[in-house]
């Protein structure tokens, strides 16, 4: 062992303790930073040099401490569980929001819903029947009919609006995924070059992990770490990010060109292809946007409004045709349906009280047999009221299921996030202890240096002075 070996050992101790304090400082400074993963100094003891030819016989100590790396204490397993949980939570959350929106449009049970309008409509027929010679009750009947058809068509329009807004959200989410993907690719490049140059990329990796979380929440997908510390992001089995290259996503059709009932798909841009999504908000949005035949909730609700409008018109008209209107016309429809477009928007009540048939054909002028028959249409087993109640219950059940799924998945997400935080987050107590340990280590290393210095002083300045 050389004379100054101990000095060098003490110096290594000083720098290691200083690094330890630096890292503790960095951890404490970022205790509240979102996505920050705690770091540790990895150090190891340097062993004694191998015995040389003339050194046998003396036992040698080690040569101090070496700072090997600053480790990032993340766990890829926990990261993956957060990503998969947030993909599911994103999917369920999107569906639940959309279904609650549909439910809100129903306005049931309440005084403003379609069921109240239906009841008002049936009652109005009896009201008109009580005073067949007066125009007032007939006017009220037309009013009730118009309020019913208006409610059906305005609910249908609300659904159209909701469809467009969900599509816009999905489109925004796709843009956000593309932006995040290109940032991930950029980080991949930086991280690779930093690590190749021997640098520390912990903070860059944190930032990249935040981006991959965002991608998972929006589009699901899996993240694969590569040996060069870059990550590949796969969606539906195809690479969104591979190393530094990005394959962007897009939605089929256009926001302006698509409307309720259209099929919206997630597509790869270049080279083109159909992307299958793995969950996440985009998949949730696409599932509610789908056409009714494929189980799309909005289109199915719109379809049921059409069914209601059709059933209402058929039931009322079937009886109304057997009557005679105020102008003497027979075989006349009450509700008219437009030949094109959805029935919910095309259903119209007559405009004149003369077009109402209260009386049966060939009966007294003030007969009200038809009005009475129509007023009882709401009570049958296949009545519009029953159809409507079925629709409301169906949507209620669906929405309830979606809300439960949302509660479940968001609880799972919360627990995954807590699990990751418990591994990766900064504990101030721990850092304080580390700080203290390193502080003491620094002081002690300095003491060692002083001791060696004093010993050398004795050797250099006080020896060889006998008899002087």
Binding site for another protein (CB under 8 A): 31-32, 99-100, 103-104, 106, 108-109, 115-116, 118-120, 122-123, 126-127, 129-133, 359-360, 363-369, 372, 375-376, 378-379, 385, 388-390, 392-393, 395-397, 399-400, 403, 414, 417-419, 421-423, 425-430, 432-433, 436
What is the nearest approach in angstroms of another protein to the Cβ of residue 432? Answer: 4
- Closer of 118 and 249 to another protein (Cβ): 118
Q: For residue 125, count other CB atoms closer than 10 A to its CB.
A: 29
Assess contact for 370 and 358: CB atoms under 8 A: yes
Assess contact for 409 and 88: CB atoms under 8 A: yes
- Closer of 7 and 78 to another protein (Cβ): 78
- Closer of 16 and 118 to another protein (Cβ): 118
What does the alpha-carbon distance between residue 20 and residue 42 come to, in Å, rounded to a whole number? Answer: 9
What is the nearest approach in angstroms of another protein to the Cβ of residue 369? Answer: 7
What is the nearest approach in angstroms of another protein to the Cβ of residue 324? Answer: 12
What is the nearest approach in angstroms of another protein to the Cβ of residue 372? Answer: 6
- Closer of 291 and 396 to another protein (Cβ): 396
- Closer of 167 and 420 to another protein (Cβ): 420
Of 264, 268, 237, the residue nearest 250 (C-alpha): 268
What is the nearest approach in angstroms of another protein to the Cβ of residue 17? Answer: 18
Of 385, 357, 361, the residue nearest 372 (C-alpha): 357
Of 347, 341, 318, 323, the residue nearest 117 (C-alpha): 347
What does the alpha-carbon distance between residue 168 and residue 373 come to, in Å, rounded to a whole number? Answer: 47
Assess contact for 72 and 39: CB atoms under 8 A: yes
What does the alpha-carbon distance between residue 335 and residue 349 come to, in Å, rounded to a whole number? Answer: 5
268 strand-pairing partners: 249, 273
Q: Phi/psi of residue 124, each to 5°?
A: -60, -30
Of 203, 199, 233, 202, the residue nearest 218 (C-alpha): 233
What does the alpha-carbon distance between residue 360 and residue 251 come to, in Å, rounded to a whole number? Answer: 57
- Closer of 142 and 275 to another protein (Cβ): 142
- Closer of 243 and 326 to another protein (Cβ): 326
Q: Quick one: which H or E segment has residue 174?
A: helix 135-196
- Closer of 130 and 338 to another protein (Cβ): 130
What does the alpha-carbon distance between residue 174 and residue 171 come to, in Å, rounded to a whole number? Answer: 5
What is the nearest approach in angstroms of another protein to the Cβ of residue 218? Answer: 22
* Longest pairwise C-alpha distance within the chain: 154
What is the nearest approach in angstroms of another protein to the Cβ of residue 418? Answer: 6
Assess contact for 356 and 137: CB atoms under 8 A: no
- Closer of 126 and 164 to another protein (Cβ): 126
What is the nearest approach in angstroms of another protein to the Cβ of residue 422? Answer: 5
Token pair, residue 408, equals 């479940």
Q: For residue 398, count other CB atoms closer than 10 A to its CB.
A: 17
What is the nearest approach in angstroms of another protein to the Cβ of residue 22? Answer: 19
What is the nearest approach in angstroms of another protein to the Cβ of residue 120? Answer: 7
- Closer of 232 and 367 to another protein (Cβ): 367
What is the nearest approach in angstroms of another protein to the Cβ of residue 36? Answer: 9
Q: What is the DSSP string of 80-126?
A: HHHHHHHHHHHHHHHHHHHHHHHHHHH--SSTTSHHHHHHHHHHHHH
222 strand-pairing partners: 234
What does the alpha-carbon distance between residue 447 and residue 353 come to, in Å, rounded to a whole number? Answer: 107
- Closer of 64 and 132 to another protein (Cβ): 132
């Amino acid at each position: 062992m050389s004379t100054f070996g101990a000095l060098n050992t003490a110096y290594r101790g000083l720098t290691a303790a200083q690094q330890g304090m630096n890292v503790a400082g960095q951890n404490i400074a970022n205790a509240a930073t979102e996505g920050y993963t705690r770091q540790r100094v990895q150090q190891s003891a340097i062993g004694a040099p191998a015995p040389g030819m003339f050194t046998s016989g003396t036992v040698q100590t080690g040569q101090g401490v070496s700072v090997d790396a600053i480790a990032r204490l993340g766990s890829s397993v926990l990261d993956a569980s957060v990503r998969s949980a947030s993909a599911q939570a994103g999917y369920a959350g999107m569906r639940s929001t959309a279904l609650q929106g549909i439910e809100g449009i129903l306005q049931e049970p309440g005084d403003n819903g379609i069921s109240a309008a239906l009841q008002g409509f049936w009652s109005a027929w009896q009201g008109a029947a009580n005073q067949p010679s007066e125009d007032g009750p007939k006017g009220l009947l037309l009013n009730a009919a118009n309020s019913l058809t208006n409610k059906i068509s305005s609910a249908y329009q609300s659904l159209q609006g909701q469809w467009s807004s969900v599509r816009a959200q999905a489109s925004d989410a796709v843009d956000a995924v593309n932006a995040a993907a290109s940032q991930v690719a950029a980080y991949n490049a930086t991280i690779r070059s930093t690590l190749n140059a021997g640098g520390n990329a912990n903070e860059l990796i944190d930032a990249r992990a935040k981006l991959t979380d965002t991608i998972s929440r929006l589009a699901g997908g899996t993240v694969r770490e590569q040996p060069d510390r870059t990550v590949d992001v796969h969606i539906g089995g195809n690479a969104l990010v591979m190393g530094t290259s990005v394959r962007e996503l897009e939605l089929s059709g256009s926001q302006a060109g698509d409307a309720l009932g259209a099929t919206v798909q997630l597509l790869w841009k270049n080279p083109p292809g159909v992307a299958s999504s793995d969950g996440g908000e985009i998949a949730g949005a696409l599932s509610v946007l789908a056409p009714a035949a494929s189980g799309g909730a909005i289109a199915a609700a719109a379809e049921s409004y059409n069914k209601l409008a059709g059933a209402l018109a058929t039931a009322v008209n079937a009886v109304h045709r057997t009557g005679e209107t105020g102008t003497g016309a027979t075989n006349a429809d009450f509700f008219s349906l437009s030949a094109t477009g959805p029935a919910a928007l095309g259903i119209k009540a007559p405009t004149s009280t003369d077009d109402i048939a209260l009386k049966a054909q060939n009966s007294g002028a003030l007969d009200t047999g038809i009005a009475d028959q129509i007023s009882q249409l709401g009570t049958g087993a296949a009545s519009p009221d029953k159809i409507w109640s079925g629709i409301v219950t169906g949507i209620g059940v669906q929405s309830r299921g979606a809300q439960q799924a949302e509660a479940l998945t968001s609880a799972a997400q919360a627990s995954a996030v807590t699990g990751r935080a418990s591994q990766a987050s900064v504990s101030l107590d721990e850092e304080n202890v580390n700080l203290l340990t390193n502080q003491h280590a620094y002081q002690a290393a300095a003491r060692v240096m002083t001791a060696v210095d004093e010993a050398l002083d004795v050797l250099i300045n006080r020896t060889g002075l006998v008899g002087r």
